[in-house]
Amino acid sequence: MTRKIVVATGNSHKVQELSEILNRCGISDVELVPMSAVIGPMEIEEDGQTFQDNAHLKAMAVFKATGLATLADDSGLCIDVLGGDPGVRSARYAGLGASDADNRAAVRAAMASNGASSSPARFVCVLCYIDPLRTLFTVGESLGRIDVDDQGSGGFGYDPMFTPDGFDQRYAEMTPEEKNTISHRGRAAERMAELLIALESDREYSSVSGLTLEDLCRASIASALGRPEVIESLSRRAQDPLQRLRLTEVLLQSYLFAGFPAALDSLATAHAAGRSSALSDHVESYRADLFEERGQMLCREIYGSVYDKMMARFETISPSMRSWMIIEGYGKTLSRAGLATRERELCIVSILAALGRSSQLYSHVRGALAVGATEDDLEMCQNVVVELCGRRAYDLLQSTVRAVVSKAP
């Protein structure tokens, strides 16, 4: 069955390039639909300070308006002699409503006033994907050089001025396939395709990956209980960037339940045993409003009809704690790219069983089922728990699962 993803852009070149790239990456069951075909043109104020913030703003606006899975692209050109300009203002460097030719002329004028006819530069693209269960970000860059004259007639925007490193042709002189293979958008979209394929089907993922969901639950418990030998062996098996990203995410989120020192120790252990470069770890710019928004969305997804009651109760106990939980916990940490919500919840269930936190465990078993986990998934958690923590934790988890399932509508 073909899934539709709305592309939150008014730039038809982006839709075309993204479609070609995702197709090439083997995502054949996805149809990218321009937002104009679903809701018509929409004004979205791009007032973020970073590409990431703007990509999120666009994706969130269209996701809210349509309720459909949405992909947004924020991109631009950063030129060294202009101190990184035009950057996030690339589309409106010559003013709101400026054409591509106007913007190129504005770059030419700015470079001339710096006495430069050429400069190192890079294109950056941040993609943000939002559906009801997750928010994913990927980033791609292409390094090269900007010259003030135009050459070639392909592509769009600053393509006639940009020569990527290792080539002597401008982007505008390349075929779409040549550009898409090496471009910032190509890189970000390839990475997004990897995540979408991996998160869509755990089963498929497990068969090509060294780390299964069971292993991620093991890593969670090992982080909370301080079992470096388990983390070492899992880290050695996390070969490719996607596996490292998933392991890192599991260890990072363990801080919410086991505290910073435990999470930091396990990240250090995983890093040392990984042999390769740093484990993948993506620092998002801190935006409390953004985290609050997506935290509320995720928390509501997990807690369903009890969400409002729970929030009201927290408000009477401690408004600060309520806000930390939503902003820091759900919005900043548990909404990050790399793991599906169901996977995050099963890892949390494993940790809570290991730590014997019975009332939180009850909520998260219910939450795991609400975001698509099955009773088989919970049985898998029980097996991991008995393996690493013994009978007592296993009994707690088993009786909790029974209690939740018996109360399910």
Is the CB of 90 or the CB of 135 nearer to ligand ITT?
A: 90
Catalytic residue among 29, 47, 73, 74: 74
The residue type found at 73 is: D
**Contact track, ligand ITT, 168-187, x by CB under 6 A:** ---x-----------x-x--
Question: CB-wise, 107 or 326, nearer to ligand ITT?
Answer: 107
Distances (CA, A) of 272 to 148, 221, 228: 46, 19, 11
Q: How far apart are CA 233 and CA 216, in angstroms?
A: 12
Query: What's the chain's length in residues?
Result: 409
Q: Kindly indicate which of the ranges 153-161, 333-341, 364-372, 373-381 contains the residues binding ligand ITT, using the contact rule CB under 6 A.
A: 153-161
Between 140 and 367, name the residue whose CB sits nearer to ligand ITT: 140
As a whole number of angstroms, the distance between CA 44 and CA 374 comes to: 39
**Which of residues 38 and 225 has its CB atom nearest to ligand ITT in the complex?**
38
Q: Which of 158, 291, 303, 330 binds ligand ITT (CB under 6 A)?
A: 158
Q: Does 14 bind ligand ITT (CB under 6 A)?
A: yes
Please, which contacts does 165-172 make with residues 24 or more away whose CB atoms are closer than 8 Å? none
Retrieve residue 10's tokens.
């008014």
> Position of tokens 């909520």?
363
Tokens of 229: 């030998």
Question: Taking CB under 6 A as the rule, does residue 10 contact ligand ITT?
Answer: yes
Cβ pair 229, 191 in contact under 8 A: no
Contact string 86-125 vs ligand ITT (x = CB under 6 A): ----xx-----------x-------------------x--
Two tokens at 112?
A: 């001339």
Site string for ligand ITT, 69-88 (x = CB under 6 A): ----xxxxx-----------
240 given a catalytic annotation: no
Closest CB to ligand ITT among residues 80, 328: 80
Rounded distance, CA 51 to CA 207, Å?
Answer: 34
Determine, following the binding rule CB under 6 A, whether residue 157 of this chain makes contact with ligand ITT: yes
Q: Minimum CB separation from ligand ITT for residue 178, in Å?
A: 13
Rama region for 304: left / alpha / beta (φ>0; ψ in -120 to 50; rest) = left
Give CA–CA dist 274/231, Å, rounded. 10
What minimum distance in Å lies between the beta carbon of 185 and ligand ITT? 6
155 lies in the binding site for ligand ITT (CB under 6 A) = yes
Q: Does 303 bind ligand ITT (CB under 6 A)?
A: no
3-state secondary structure 237-251: HCCCHHHHHHHHHHH
Residues forming the site for ligand ITT (CB under 6 A) = 9-11, 14, 46, 73-77, 90-91, 103, 123, 155-159, 171, 183, 185
Catalytic residues: 74
